[in-house]
Amino acid sequence: MENKKKLVMIGNGMAGVRTIEHVLKVAPGLYDITIFGAEPYPNYNRIMLSSVLAGGTGLEDIVINDWSWYEENDIQLYTGDPVTGIDIKHKKVKSASGREADYDVLLLAMGSKAFMLPLPGADKEGVIGFRDIKDCHTMMDAAGKYRKAAVIGGGLLGLEAARGLLNLGMEVTVIHNSKYLMNRQLDPASSLMLQGELERQGMTFRLECQTAAIEGHKRAERLVFRDGSFEKADLVVMAVGIQPEIRLAKEAGIGTGRGILVNDFMETNVPDIYAVGECAEHRGITYGLVAPLYEQGTVLAKRLAGMETAGYEGSVTSAKLKVSGVDVFSAGLFEDAPGLRSLRYQDEIDEVYKKIVLKDDRLVGAVLFGDTTDGSSLFSLIKSGESVAGREKELLLGFPAGKAEGSGTARFEQMPDDEIVCGCNGVTKQMIGEAVAGGCRTVGEIKACTKASASCGGCKPLVEGLLQFYAGDEAGEGVKEGICSCTKLSREEIISGIKEMGLSTVKEVMNVLGWDEPGGCSKCRPALNYYLGMISPGTYKDEKESRVTNERYHANIQKDGTYSVVPRIYGGVTSPGELKKIVAVAEKYNVPLVKFTGGQRLDLLGVKKEDLPGIWAELDMPSGHAYGKTLRTVKTCVGNTFCRFGTQDAMGMGIKLEKAFERLNAPAKVKLAVSGCPRNCAEATIKDLGVVAIDGAWELYVGGNGGIKVRAAELLCTVKTEEEVIEWTAAYLQYYREQASWNERTAHWVERVGLESIKAALADEEERKALVARITETLSYTTDPWKEIIENPELRKNFEPLGGLQTVNERMLPR
């Protein structure tokens, strides 16, 4: 340990951590590594932020290296603690919290920040960039309060932000200073096709438009343009480019230009200080795409390991992207110019456009829209500079149909080793070949080893093809993937194994069923915990350590590390006594914000972890389970109790449903609603299960979703009595519990299995009553989670603060 050199890295982003990964591979044990990150998260894939904003993924889905990776590699990680100064003379850095760390080698990997146009009013509330998780949260919050958004910038980032805001329900206008969208990647023809598709999706555009100012009182209210026109906007997102983070380097006396100046080995002008990624400037160029940054990291890792290596000579860049659901590829030169020849294919029926650009029989550029299958092959030819004389039309149109069969092997043989297969993670053909040579025989194993296909998944077919190319028959059945990379077993095989062998714990399932990763992961542990409890509700002891953070602490963790407490308010109906208790607790514990939720409840926001047991004890109210994969809320209107249009007692029905099914564990969160008449004020037809009163009967709707991807519920049945409502609801929920995959919402489940198959299963009275009996048994074993914690001093110790800023090692301590 004493002989290790001290390596300190400033920044915890993709390029820097990829460099550290390479160092650990080629020189394990050489460095004692410390990393300072400005954000309160482990290393995550910034490319996937648009997916988080669009609602397709969560933060946990885009994490590249989770907390345990740092611990397993003895890396000291400080998150939420940016470095504020570098002392070159004494070789140490100082952070915002006052920490100091000595270094032998310093790696600068601070990345970049969003470029904010210096417009009057740019400092108002509601004006942001789009660069990190915090920006995603800001946009999501704004979408819940405001209606109109404007995105300045019609490039890739701007269009991704606009698509996400559309999905969040906002009206979106994109302002762009060029005549064409993505004008740095697309020619006019492909740009117009893209614009047409995005307009059909709901975006509006103001092109060749220059913003002069942002107006409003405290918050942005409208954009004013140079021609005197204006556009109303409650949220303004600037997506006009990035600026390398160079302040620290500049203040310390390290050479800077637009970025931190480095040579071919990523060395700065100061000995033992290196820079990599978006903050680095190499030969006058700063890069914002992943592949060049990973190429820099590979060179630097070998240099840090003391290995002979050729220097980094710069990168030819390409972009293979999915813009708002449309596949786009661009590389090299794409504009018409003297000395260049081009071939085009345009099909506006199937929305496909292809263009290749040639110079002296060499391919120098390409644009593909709608069909990007040949993008990687074209990019290889651009980089190689070989003659394509006589093959031009074949390159444009792809292999003729008669040659397609059997051409796969030839394709992979001709593919250069350095061709990028996974653009999100910078994985080349050679890296996949090395992974297979090292024993990987499944796509999941290749993903775990190289991260190929771990992000957007667009390269998975190519990875599968390369696996077959390298492994041949040895790949065989191994191509099959299980519920996660830890196992090849499907949900059905796992449940069957649990039942047949009488397995009773998560660890036992992993051992007996042969998990590849003995400890499992954050995806399979919660799934196994649920399946075991669903199969044996009376005997299985819930494993708290296999639940996510929110469920372990029975509160929603917020982005600042505090928690949100939501007591259950049945059917949205409360009393003066309950309200007084909530007020008293909020005042006693200095709760910063109390908010009415969309589920007709009160949310206490900003609660400290150590205050959670005391708050719940003094509330003496059941948990609303706003954090769990369980019944969240039952929303109601006032029904015929007060409303002149009401036909049934919606409040009474809602309260009965909520009391019947509270604390019910499910594959995913479940929301219910009851409307007292077809006017549907409780929005019952966009819930997991909604009940709508009609004259003399009740309609039950299932599979709805009112979130980012709205889905209207479908009519399951019509019944006469409240007892039948409870019976059919119980049977439906239990059937969902037993048939759905872990983390699968009812909307996705109903779409997957089909409503008719569900109706057929529940129409059998004997089977329906058996389902009701099983859910009744399960509910008989459930208790409010806070009762046990409040009454058990040992459990309450889990909520004691660790004190101050926490390192990853402190956070990982067993509690």
The CATH number assigned to the domain holding 257 equals 3.50.50.60
pLDDT of residue 556: 79
Same domain, 161 and 145: yes
pLDDT of residue 524: 87
pLDDT of residue 430: 86
pLDDT, tens digit (0-9, with 9 covering 90-100), for 537-572: 989 988 877 776 677 777 877 766 688 999 999 999
How far is CA 539 from each of CA 270, 493, 513, 542, 808, rounded to the nearest angstrom?
A: 64, 21, 21, 9, 35
pLDDT of residue 809: 36
Flag whether pLDDT at 458 surpasses 70.
no
pLDDT of residue 673: 96
Same domain, 443 and 394: no
pLDDT of residue 806: 40
pLDDT, tens digit (0-9, with 9 covering 90-100), for 748-763: 999 999 999 999 999 9
Pairwise pLDDT comparison (678 vs 430), residue with the higher score? 678
Assigned domain for 485 exists: no
Split at pLDDT 50, 70, 90, the class of 408 is: low
* Overall average pLDDT of the 320-344 stretch: 82
| CATH code of residue 414 | 1.10.10.1100
Q: What is the 3-state secondary structure (H, E, C) of 92-108?
A: EEEECCCCEEECCEEEE
Residues 122, 123, 126, CA angle at the centre, nearest 5°? 85
Mean pLDDT of the chain: 88
Nearest alpha carbon to residue 509 among 539, 489, 479: 489
Phi, psi (degrees; rounded to nearest 5) at 124? -75, 160
Assigned domain for 615 exists: no
- Of the residues 547, 564, 586, the one at which a domain ends: 547
* H/E element, 359: strand 352-359
| CATH code of residue 371 | 3.30.390.30
Flag whether pLDDT at 170 surpasses 60.
yes
Encoded amino acid at 645, one letter? F
Same domain, 428 and 503: no
pLDDT of residue 410: 66
Assigned domain for 644 exists: yes
Q: Tokens for 589, please give them.
A: 């514990």
Helices 188-201 and 156-167 meet at what angle, rounded to 10? 10
pLDDT of residue 406: 36
Same domain, 429 and 501: no
| CATH code of residue 710 | 3.30.413.10
pLDDT, tens digit (0-9, with 9 covering 90-100), for 619-655: 989 988 888 899 999 999 999 999 999 999 999 999 9
Split at pLDDT 50, 70, 90, the class of 449 is: confident
Same domain, 81 and 185: no
Report the distance separating Cα 812 and Cα 195, nearest Å: 48
Flag whether pLDDT at 726 surpasses 50.
yes
Assigned domain for 700 exists: yes
Flag whether pLDDT at 805 surpasses 60.
no
Same domain, 204 and 268: no
Same domain, 106 and 251: yes
Assigned domain for 623 exists: no
pLDDT of residue 327: 81
Report the distance separating Cα 756 and Cα 498, nearest Å: 29
Give the domain range for residue 339.
316-400
pLDDT of residue 471: 86
pLDDT of residue 377: 79
* Overall average pLDDT of the 102-125 stretch: 96
pLDDT of residue 1: 44
Flag whether pLDDT at 126 surpasses 50.
yes
Same domain, 384 and 352: yes
pLDDT of residue 795: 65
* Overall average pLDDT of the 131-152 stretch: 92
Split at pLDDT 50, 70, 90, the class of 51 is: confident
Collapsing DSSP to helix, strand or coil, 490 comes out as coil
CA neighbours closer than 13 Å in the CB half-sphere of residue 652: 12
Check if the beta carbon of residue 442 is closer than 8 Å to that of residue 480.
Answer: yes
**Which of 77-91, 195-209, 289-303, 367-381 is most confident?**
77-91
DSSP assignment string, 384-446: H--B-TT-HHHHHH-S-HHHHTT-HHHHHHHS-TT-EEETTTTEEHHHHHHHHHTT--SHHHH
Domain count, the chain: 6
Lowest mean pLDDT among 85-94, 455-464, 570-579, 618-627: 455-464
Sheet of 148-152, strands arranged across: 127-129, 235-238, 148-152, 171-175, 204-206
- Other Cβ atoms within 10 Å of 542 Cβ, number: 16
- Structure letter (DSSP) for residue 741: P
pLDDT, tens digit (0-9, with 9 covering 90-100), for 663-714: 899 999 999 999 999 999 999 999 999 999 999 999 999 999 986 667 999 9
Lowest mean pLDDT among 356-365, 487-496, 514-523, 717-726: 514-523
Same domain, 650 and 760: yes
Assigned domain for 618 exists: no
Same domain, 92 and 144: no
pLDDT of residue 719: 96
Flag whether pLDDT at 448 surpasses 50.
yes
pLDDT of residue 553: 74
pLDDT, tens digit (0-9, with 9 covering 90-100), for 498-535: 999 999 999 999 989 988 877 777 778 889 999 999 99
* Overall average pLDDT of the 609-618 stretch: 89
Q: Tokens for 70, please give them.
A: 């740092």
pLDDT of residue 409: 67
Report the distance separating Cα 616 and Cα 624, nearest Å: 11
pLDDT of residue 757: 92
For a pLDDT cut of 70, what percent of the chain falls above it? 91
pLDDT of residue 358: 95
pLDDT of residue 803: 36
Same domain, 223 and 251: no
Same domain, 644 and 764: yes
- Other Cβ atoms within 10 Å of 590 Cβ, number: 10
Q: Tokens for 354, please give them.
A: 């292809």
Assigned domain for 577 exists: no
Split at pLDDT 50, 70, 90, the class of 399 is: very low
* Overall average pLDDT of the 79-96 stretch: 96
pLDDT of residue 334: 87
Assigned domain for 62 exists: yes
